[in-house]
Amino acid sequence: MLHVPYDGAVRSSWLVFLLCSFAQAQAFLGGGYAFTQGYLIVGGLSRSWATLEGQAILYPNPSGSLALQLTPLRLPPWALGLRLEGGFQGHPFAELAPLLAWNLPGGQLEGEVGLAYQGTFTLAYGLSLRAELSPIILFFRASSRIPLEIGALYRW
């Protein structure tokens, strides 16, 4: 049996690969309002197969999250992938959900159903719509954590 010594180089090479793959990504930044939560700022990087997005709710209920959305399987106009989100909303939380996206003319409709953990395991679900009015993106999202988010993003 062949023994290959393992060190931290393998783990760090995946991180370098992920960072390099986002090097030519489109960036976006914007804001909006999350009903029952408050005003929010959203920013991130987007490639055709992945989105890395950060969100911070500023006032009156401060919280934040970081989401990684991978959609490697693309069968136009559909995309199938995985959404992983973690953050703090009163308590630390984490969500993992399979994702189905439908590319519409001038936008995208996404839905996910999965598992969430915030003290106990619960069902996580979400539905979002993005309308692209280049370079502005309008977004609407409803989820198990936040009943409705609306806002606008600028993409460059």
Residue spans per domain, the chain: 25-155
Q: For residue 9, name the pLDDT band (cuts at 50, 70, 90).
A: low
Distance of alpha carbon 66 from alpha carbon 118, whole angstroms: 15
Question: What share of the chain has pLDDT > 70, as a percent?
Answer: 89
Cis amide bond preceding 98, omega within 30? no
pTM of the predicted protein model: 0.80
- Mean pLDDT, rounded, of the chain: 88
Cα(first)–Cα(last) distance of the chain, in Å? 52
- For CA atoms 127, 20, 92, 83, the dihedral sign is positive
pLDDT reported for residue 8:
54
Least-confidence region, from 56-60, 93-97, 117-121: 56-60
